Structure 1
């Protein structure tokens, strides 16, 4: 009799053969050109990863961009910025379009370059020569000049906070034509050229006066301009009410160290700002940023403020969907997941690990879907009981503390099959670098195990959340399988739409993006 393992019609029929080897050496499926670009745009940070370097990532994204239409590049850039809250990748794709499709680059620039930091990213990338030119060129220069002309003084001051290039460098490159005396004076002040002191914008004039006497009222300039001066506790408390929400989240220890919370009313005001639902809905902080902030606050930060951070985390997860039926969420807790989620970059490596994000997604799904089953895995499924009524931060911290071992993405599916479990939706959160799975001819073990599960649960759907830009997956897209990349609330939206049958795949969601 023929070998049943090799020739089993039940498990091999319709299963695609693997066509790639992942970074860990395991059999895998390569993303199609559009899916690969979308994945890179939503997760790539142009930094060194666990398996590959920043140079390889840059080469990958430019190669993927050339393999698709400029129209899809434009949609991926806007999706990555507006839905994925990414920074470097949208700027890179906008710069690429200035060469690939200069006309299309114009609306993309307007949608993607939405603040001073993004403007500096764009100019830096253009001047690097990586997209095919070392100078801005006439049209990109015009786009940058128009951005400067339309920007308000607060926007320009925010843009002037940062270097490489600085806003002064950009002004020297594009030579904006000031439309008013105060704008002309500001540019002169910025680049160190003679200017009319009497025409300085009120904010800059107040800053110059305050520098001569730092004991007076704080001028209305970015808080970063003031922190190099000796400030009183009261002035620090004032800054706490003035700085942006994200800056407030990141500077709690600094405020505590400088006595801001000793000022009457400061603690209540900071806590109120951090937990304000309307502000969180507008700012859309990444939930993992809040979880990390909670872990980093020192003992000097008042408990009321720490509690507000936890409340902010809960509010930031308002978009986590309720999934119908039997839900299983599988966070990858293997060794490679201990790497920095946004990669390694000298002086700017994030403390957020991939495992933190996977754990947070699992805990968030459990909070919304109280009957969901959580199956962390590395080489095999890791046994752990979580309380669905516990706060998200508590369950996420427990999961993130596991860590270690190789990667076997098929392990939770194999366990579900061994149990003959009833399943409607499986969510796997991983870097997709599976290599321990049992070797099979043709398909990955993940696809084989999923097909076995589908035989018992015909309506089941598999959602694979890929949080690293390596370009391969263990489960190929089809009507019941979606691969989605990223680690913002856009992932939860994509998950809900797919589970409800609203969309077929993630590329379809990106294609719906307006440019």
Structure 2
């Protein structure tokens, strides 16, 4: 008689066998080519992840782009930049398109390369040799020339912040033809040439006058209206740094709280900081010891940080707020810390509310302790994959207090989180949980053992399950989902992958959505799927709907 343990009759539909092995060595389902490319682009920051390094990520990205048609490559680049706010991967795809479809590269370039940082990324990728060339070439040069011609001088002043390559380096490469004498003088000034002062734009003249005043010892000189990063290498006084903070836009303020703290804006004497890119100058207050925080300034900046309309207009990225909050210097006043937490709560107001009974399953295994954007020298985020999973779980709980959060690693961690606690409080609690191996089927098995009823299950994981792996057949996660759905026929499953791994524990179908990313786009797609407005293939369909 055949072994009944091996050949026991199965209930329900015949499940597809897993067809690949994930990065941790467990059975998995390979994502279809279009979904795999979207996963890589929306989660890949080209840094070293827990299971793959940056080089392997780039190889997978380029290989994935070869497996789909060029139009979809262009659409993915635009979607990732517009909805995921990704910086590196969209630039790589646009650079790749210059080799395979010049027309599509032009149309994608116009939508993806939207600031100086993105332009530098595009140029750097093309000149690196990774794509098979070390020069821009005629068509890419024309793209950059048209981009420069379409920018105002004020925009170019902002674009000129940054190196490797600098905007001056790019101008040398593409030789743009100045449209007037002012633009010609501006390019000459960027390149360090001697130019007629009267032909320079007013903004540049004001900047040069300010530098001359500082050199003459005038610590009271009025700040010019330029990007503050043009000023950071200058010997500014504390009063001038305070003025920079007051003038800052919402995003600039959010991004530079630690910089302001180092320069004494919040009232204490700046300390030497070996990691700072610019020297800490205390200005006229040098030697006077620690000063009291200026209460009116703190109130003003806190009010700006928590201003709801400004937050909505600034297209705030909740994960950016969490990253800022995690990285705050101890010298940043508590009022500003609390204002950032308020801003995070406001930024999550538009999170779609999944109706019905929802279970959120954040992965708290050891691999989830990796930075969500990977390890990268000089640019490693303090936000881990576990933090990102916790943020999503906390956000859903805030909008649906009946939701249950069941964390897991190699065991189940049912957590009685308070929906009224701040997102940062709940995120901190989740971030301190777990640290063991990865068993993604475990929380579903735990729910099944309790005959749980539910409408939506959301995994927040890197999908690198290995502890429940079988030699052959379907993954244990899919088996447990089938058992859950037999009891809850209308239930839906979302597998949110936070890392650039192209495998999943469950196949995409009408009731199962595989999606990758850690941006606002995640909440939007999740909400639509939960409401039954699309099936498990919608993520790819949303990308295919992008007009290029």
Q: TM-score, normalised by structure 2?
A: 0.91
**Counterpart secondary structure, 1:213:** helix
Q: Which residue of 2 aligns with 1:166?
A: 166
Report Cα offsets for 1:233-280 as digits up to 9, x if no partner.
Answer: 221121113334333113223323433233463212211221122222
1:105 equivalent in alignment to 2:136 = no
Change (3 A) 1:451 1:232: same
Distance 1:89 1:67 in 2: 16
Residue of structure 1 equivalent to 2:237: 232
Per the alignment, residue 223 of structure 1 pairs with 228
Secondary structure of the corresponding residue to residue 507 of structure 1: helix
Q: Secondary structure at the match of 1:376?
A: strand
Deviations 1:71-109 (A, max 9, x none): 111111011000000000010011111111111111100
Do 1:319 and 1:489's aligned partners in 2 also have CA atoms closer than 8 Å? no
Counterpart mapping for 1:86-125 below 5 A:
86-125=86-125
C-alpha distance in structure 2 between counterparts of 1:379 and 1:163, whole Å: 45
**2:24 maps to which residue?**
24
- Paired with 2:529 and 2:261, the residues of 1 have a C-alpha distance of 44
Distance 1:245 1:161 in 2: 18
Partner in structure 2 of residue 254 of structure 1: 259
Task: Please tell me whether the aligned partners of residues 24 and 466 of structure 2 are also in contact (alpha carbons under 8 angstroms).
Answer: yes
Higher helix share: 1
Whether 2:547 is the aligned partner of 1:509: answer: no
**2:429 corresponds to 1:398:** yes
Q: Distance in 2 between matches of 1:61 and 1:218?
A: 45
Contact 1:288/1:356 (8 A) holds in 2: no
Distance in 2 (CA, whole Å) between partners of 1:8 and 1:283 is: 58
Q: 1:435 aligns with which of 444, 455, 466?
A: 466
- SS of the residue aligned with 1:320? coil
Going from structure 1 to structure 2, the CA distance change for 1:278 and 1:7 (only over 3 Å counts) comes to farther
Summarize the Cα distance change of 1:3–1:450 in structure 2 as closer, same or farther, 3 Å threshold: farther
Corresponding residue of 2:190 = 190
Q: Which aligned pairs between 1:226-375 and structure 2 lie closer than 5 A?
A: 226-261=231-266, 262-263=293-294, 265-375=296-406
Give 1:284 shift: 2.5
Q: For residue 3 of structure 1, report the CA deviation from its aligned partner.
A: 5.0
Alignment of 1:347-496 (within 5 A): 347-439=378-470, 441-496=472-527
Please say which of residues 264-273 and 343-352 is displaced more in the overlay.
264-273
Measure the CA separation in 1 of the matches of 2:153 and 2:299: 30
Partner SS for 2:513: strand
- Quote the Cα distance in structure 2 between the aligned partners of 1:126 and 1:43: 22
Question: What is residue 146 of structure 1 aligned with on the other side?
Answer: 146
Q: 5+ unaligned residues in a row in structure 2: which ranges?
A: 267-292
Q: Tell me, what secondary structure is at the counterpart of 1:465?
A: strand
Kept in 1: contact 2:348–2:395 (CA 8 A):
yes
- In 2, are the aligned partners of 1:39 and 1:486 still within 8 Å (CA)? yes
Structure 1: distance between partners of 2:95 and 2:330:
44
Query: What's 1:14 paired with?
Result: 14
2:83 maps to 1:83: yes
Structure 1 CA distance for aligned equivalents of residues 521 and 240 of structure 2 = 38
3-state DSSP class of the match of 1:383? Answer: strand
Give the conservation status (yes or no) of the 8 Å contact 2:408–2:434: no
Cα deviation, residue 304, structure 1: 2.2
The 3 A distance-change label for structure 1 pair 123 and 252 is: same
Q: Distance in 1 between matches of 2:55 and 2:326?
A: 32
Describe the SS at the equivalent of 2:419.
coil
Name the SS of the counterpart of 1:464 in structure 2. strand
Is 2:79–2:546's contact at 8 Å kept on the other side of the alignment?
yes
Question: Could you say which residue in structure 1 is the equivalent of 2:68?
Answer: 68
In 2, Cα distance between the equivalents of 1:138 and 1:438? 52
**C-alpha distance in 2 between matches for 1:196 and 1:374:** 65
Please give the alpha-carbon distance, in whole angstroms, between the structure 1 residues aligned to 2:131 and 2:34: 19
TM-score (norm 1): 0.97
Q: Is the 8 A contact 1:355 1:403 kept in 2?
A: no
CA deviation after TM superposition for structure 1 residue 17, in Å: 0.8
5+ unaligned residues in a row in structure 1: which ranges?
none
Q: 1:125 to 1:244 in 2, by over 3 A?
A: farther
CA separation in 2, counterparts of 1:449 and 1:310?
37
